[in-house]
């Protein structure tokens, strides 16, 4: 049976992987049907400089070559907050269909893929995001936890949801500033579990 990494990086035909944890590596996947053309969605995803517009806790992504980039992760709204930096490379790029990547910095281990396939109904594109992250131990693990409030699995789901919102509506809705009544103990736990206080990425209607 192939490993999560082999499945996420091999070819353009594979089944979405179930969520799970193995040897400290958390694998998660999310699937969304997005009302946009596959080529257009692929083009947006290919521009790594746009990632801070729809990915949570991504401060900046700077291309360093045709296939590599430097990432800075933290709370974009806290200029003096903690930052985690690492490098990543594209391992597979099939125009209009698939992009796969992996980190190349020893302190961070993460890899995954995103695929774009016309929906069976013929309307929209089925986008599948698979990502595996190894949660580091010790002081680095504590630093990562303090920077990224959500767990890896929930982050994958939220990022793909933000991508869909940006692609379809040109912006990411936010409830910042809206009031609500007391949420109680259960509501407070859910707020912590799902990272509901995380800053919402700004989104953008710029598709050029």
pLDDT score of 176? 47
pLDDT score of 79? 81
pLDDT score of 47? 95
pLDDT score of 177? 45
pLDDT score of 61? 97
In sequence order, the 6+-apart residues with CB closer than 8 A to the CB of 57 are: 73, 74, 75, 76, 147, 148, 149, 198, 199
User: Contact at 8 Å (CB) between 167 and 41?
Assistant: yes
Average pLDDT for consecutive 10-residue bins of the chain (208 residues)?
44 51 81 95 95 91 97 85 91 97 90 94 92 70 57 85 91 54 46 48 52
> Is 147 part of a structural domain of the chain?
yes
> Is 172 part of a structural domain of the chain?
yes
> Is 131 part of a structural domain of the chain?
yes
Query: What tens digit of pLDDT does each residue of 95-151 get?
Result: 999 999 999 998 888 899 999 999 988 889 999 999 998 866 555 555 555 555 667
Residue 12 sits in a domain whose CATH number is 3.30.530.20
How many residues are there in the chain? 208
pLDDT score of 194? 44
Which run of H or E residues covers position 102?
Answer: strand 98-103
pTM of the model: 0.73
> Is 185 part of a structural domain of the chain?
yes
> Is 204 part of a structural domain of the chain?
no
Looking at the structure of the chain, the number of domains it has is 1
Domain limits for position 185: 4-193
pLDDT score of 178? 44
> Is 40 part of a structural domain of the chain?
yes
> Is 199 part of a structural domain of the chain?
no
Up-side HSE of residue 53: CA atoms within 13 Å toward CB? 18
Can you say how many angstroms the Cα of residue 203 is from the centroid of all Cα atoms in its chain? 14
> Is 200 part of a structural domain of the chain?
no
In sequence order, the 6+-apart residues with CB closer than 8 A to the CB of 47 are: none
Sign of CA dihedral 133, 139, 143, 145: positive
pLDDT score of 207? 43
User: Contact at 8 Å (CB) between 62 and 52?
Assistant: no
């Amino acid at each position: 049976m192939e490993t999560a990494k082999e499945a996420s990086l091999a070819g353009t035909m594979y089944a979405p992987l179930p969520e799970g944890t193995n040897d400290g590596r958390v694998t998660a996947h999310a699937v969304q049907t997005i009302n946009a053309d596959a080529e257009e969605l692929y083009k947006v995803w290919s521009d790594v400089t746009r990632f801070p517009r729809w990915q949570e806790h991504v401060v900046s992504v700077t291309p360093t070559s045709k296939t590599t980039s430097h990432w800075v992760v933290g709370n974009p709204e806290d200029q003096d907050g903690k930052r985690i930096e690492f490098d990543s490379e594209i391992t597979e790029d099939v125009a209009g269909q698939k992009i796969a990547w992996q980190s190349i910095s020893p302190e961070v281990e993460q890899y995954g893929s995103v695929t774009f396939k016309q929906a069976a109904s013929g309307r929209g594109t089925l986008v599948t995001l698979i990502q595996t992250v190894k949660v580091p131990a010790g002081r680095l693990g504590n630093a990562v936890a303090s920077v990224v409030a959500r767990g890896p699995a929930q982050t994958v789901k939220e990022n793909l949801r933000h991508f869909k919102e940006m692609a379809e509506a040109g912006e990411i809705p936010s409830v910042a500033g809206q009031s609500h009544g007391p949420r109680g103990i259960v509501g407070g736990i859910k707020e912590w579990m799902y990272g509901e206080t995380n800053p919402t990425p700004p989104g953008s209607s710029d598709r050029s």
